[in-house]
């Protein structure tokens, strides 16, 4: 396998991958511009690019980059870092971004569960809406248990694969 410094990359192939993967993320619910920015970062050799680099590669405005980065930061899919000796920021994805994103979703699921419990109580467990909310709550509780165990298994598996 070639070292990252010497690997030749076809810019057209990279662009096709970025757009195809971004389309998949959009289908899964991610907004279009954050999906494109995330895909570009994921496809970059060091996992980090500046706003200008993202804008140039994706042919988008600085405002579009800014909005996408803001969204991706809020959902913990990238981090910001300062370039040493510069005021410019670089945006970085990490090897564990999927783990972090899913871990953050757990907190959201817990909030949903609390709201659903309140809804079941307010609507009455025996009403059609109350039963529907109770089933939704049971689903999230079931998933939450399995996700926590799966995340522990992933960490062990990741250490075995990547050190």
**22 has a pLDDT exceeding 70:** yes
Which of these three, 75, 92, 109, is where a domain ends? Answer: 92
Tokens (6 digits) for 142? 């079931």
Same domain, 148 and 112: yes
Which residue do the tokens 């396998």 mark? 1
110-144: per-residue pLDDT in tens? 888 999 999 999 999 999 999 999 999 999 999 88
CB 25 within 8 A of CB 97: no
Q: Could you tell me if 87 and 73 lie in one domain? A: yes
Alpha helices per DSSP H over 4-163: 11-27, 32-43, 51-58, 62-74, 97-123, 128-162
| Per-residue tokens: 137 | 């709550």
Residues 112, 76 within the same domain:
no
Same domain, 60 and 106: no
CA pseudo-torsion sign 137, 109, 21, 71: positive
Higher pLDDT, residue 3 or 142: 142
Same domain, 59 and 113: no
What is the reported pLDDT for 150? 87
The CA R_g of the chain, rounded to the nearest whole Å, is: 20
- The confidence score (pLDDT) of residue 3 equals 46
| Domain count of the fold of the chain | 2
Residue 4 is assigned to a structural domain of this protein = no
On whether both 86 and 101 belong to a single domain, the answer is: no
pTM over 0.85: no
Q: Are residues 79 and 25 in the same domain?
A: yes
Residue 24 shares a structural domain with residue 82: yes
What is the mean predicted confidence (pLDDT) over 94-122?
Answer: 83
Residues 71, 73, 76: CA angle, nearest 5 degrees: 115
Domain annotation covers residue 3? no
Q: Is the distance from CB of 4 to CB of 18 less than 8 angstroms?
A: no
75, 47: one domain: yes
The residue-averaged pLDDT of 73-77 equals 86
- Region 15-37 average pLDDT: 95
How is the beta sheet containing 48-50 ordered, strand by strand? 48-50, 89-92, 79-82
Q: Per-residue pLDDT tens for 38-60?
A: 999 999 998 999 999 999 999 99
Residue ending a domain, choose from 31, 62, 92:
92
What are the backbone dihedrals phi and psi of residue 42, each rounded to the nearest 5 degrees, phi first? -60, -35
Structural domain harbouring 49:
11-92
In this structure, the answer to whether residues 47 and 106 fall within a common structural domain is no
Give yes or no: residues 85 and 105 share one domain: no
CATH classification at residue 17:
1.10.10.10
């Amino acid at each position: 396998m070639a070292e990252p410094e010497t690997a030749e990359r076809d810019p057209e192939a990279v662009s096709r991958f970025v757009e195809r993967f971004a389309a998949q993320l959009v289908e899964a619910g991610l907004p279009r511009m954050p999906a494109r920015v995330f895909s570009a970062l994921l496809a970059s050799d060091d996992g980090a690019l500046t706003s200008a680099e993202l804008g140039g590669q994706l042919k988008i405005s600085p405002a579009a980059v800014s909005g996408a980065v803001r969204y991706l930061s809020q959902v913990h899919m990238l981090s910001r870092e300062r370039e040493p000796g510069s005021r410019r920021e670089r945006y970085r994805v990490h090897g564990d971004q999927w783990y972090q994103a899913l871990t953050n979703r757990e907190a959201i699921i817990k909030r949903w569960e609390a709201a659903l419990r309140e809804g079941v109580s307010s609507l009455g467990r025996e009403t059609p809406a109350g039963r529907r909310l109770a089933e939704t709550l049971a689903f999230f509780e079931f998933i939450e248990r399995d996700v926590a165990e799966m995340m522990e298994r992933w960490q062990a598996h990741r250490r075995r694969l990547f050190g």
